[in-house]
Amino acid sequence: MAAATPFTLDYALLSHPGQLRPLNEDAIGARPDLGLFILCDGLGGYNAGEIAATMAVSSLLSLLAGDFEQAQAEGAPFDARRALIERMVEINGTIARAAANSAAFEGMATTVVVAWVLGDRLWVAHAGDSRLYRFREGVLEGLTRDHSFSQELLDAGMVTEEEARVLPSKNLVTRALGATGDVEPEVHDFPLRVGDVLMLCSDGLTEMVDDAQIASAIFASVPDVQRAAQRLVDLANAAGGRDNVSVIVVRLAGRKGLEPRRARSADVT
C-alpha cells in the first residue's frame, strides 16, 4: 500500500474558453482525497474534442481510484506506473472505437496530463502537449516534454525555440488518447518537498504565456492557489486568448499544523 503522504494539498482548478472559441474542449478533474489531478485538451473540433476530453478525465479518475482503493483493501502493493499505463491504454481504445463508430465523433482525440501525489513522490503521466510544471524555491521546471511535431524539430536542432513557437504545424501532436489504436503514455516519478507548487495546463496557456511569465505569476500569488490559477488564465486571455485555457494549481503544504490550512485543501492518504 502507498504510505501516508507528509503533505496536505491546497488546490485550484480553473478552465476558460478563451477569447475566440465558442466551445471549451478542455476538461479538468480531481480526486484530491487521493492526490489525483487530471487535465485533458480535446482534439477534433466541434463537440467531439470536448467529448473525448470529458471521457478521458471521468474514466481515468474512476478507474485509477478503483485500482488504488482495491490495492489498499487487499493490503497489496500499488504499482502506480502500471496502473497509469494500463488505464491510459484502455481509455485510448475506448475513445478510438467511439470515433470509428460515429461520424459525429470522427477524428476526436485528447491530450492528457496526470499528476498523482502518492506518499512523498509525484507520479506524472502524459500524452500530447498539455504540460506539468513544478515551481520550487522560485524556480519553474517543466516535468513533461511535449509530444508534438514542433518539439521533435526542436529536439533535432532543426529550429530554435522562437521558431518552434510560430511554426504553422506547432499544434500537431504526435501522441494523444484516441488518435490511433495504440498509444504509448510517458510516465515518470519525482520526489516532492513541502512548499512545491505543481501546475498542470493546456496549451492555451503556454501558447500565449512564456515560462518566465508563468513563474512570475505563481511567485506573486502563492500560497493562494486560487489567485495563482486566476492570474494565469487572465494572462492567457490578455495576450489574445486564442485557445481554451485550463490550469490546475496544487501546493504541497505541511501536515499537522506546520502550515495553516486553506480553503479547498485535502489530506491524502
Q: Does some domain include residue 121?
A: yes
Q: Does some domain include residue 99?
A: yes
Q: What is the CA radius of gyration of the chain?
A: 18
Q: Does some domain include residue 2?
A: no
The amino acid sitting at 40 is C
Q: How many domains does the chain have?
A: 1
Q: What are the cell numbers at 34?
A: 487521493
Of the candidates 171, 181, 178, 224, the one whose C-alpha atom is nearest the C-alpha of residue 202 is: 171
Q: Does some domain include residue 269?
A: no
Do residues 183 and 116 lie in contact, with contact meaning Cβ atoms separated by under 8 Å? no
Q: What CATH number did the domain enclosing 229 receive? A: 3.60.40.10
Helix (H) or strand (E) holding 60: helix 48-74
Q: Does some domain include residue 25?
A: yes
Distances (CA, A) of 76 to 4, 64, 83, 156, 160: 15, 15, 13, 43, 48
Q: What pLDDT score does 20 carry?
A: 95
Which residues are paired to 187 by β-bridges?
125
Q: Does some domain include residue 202?
A: yes
Residuewise pLDDT in 10s, the chain (269 residues):
444 578 999 999 999 999 999 899 999 999 999 999 999 999 976 579 999 999 999 999 999 999 999 999 999 999 999 999 999 999 999 999 999 999 889 999 999 999 999 999 999 999 999 999 999 999 999 999 999 888 788 777 887 777 777 776 667 899 999 999 999 999 999 999 999 999 999 999 999 999 999 999 999 999 999 999 999 999 999 999 999 999 999 999 986 444 433 434 444 43
Q: Does some domain include residue 173?
A: yes
Bridge-based pairing state of the strands 197-201 and 131-136: antiparallel
- Domain extent at residue 231: 7-255
Q: Does some domain include residue 261?
A: no
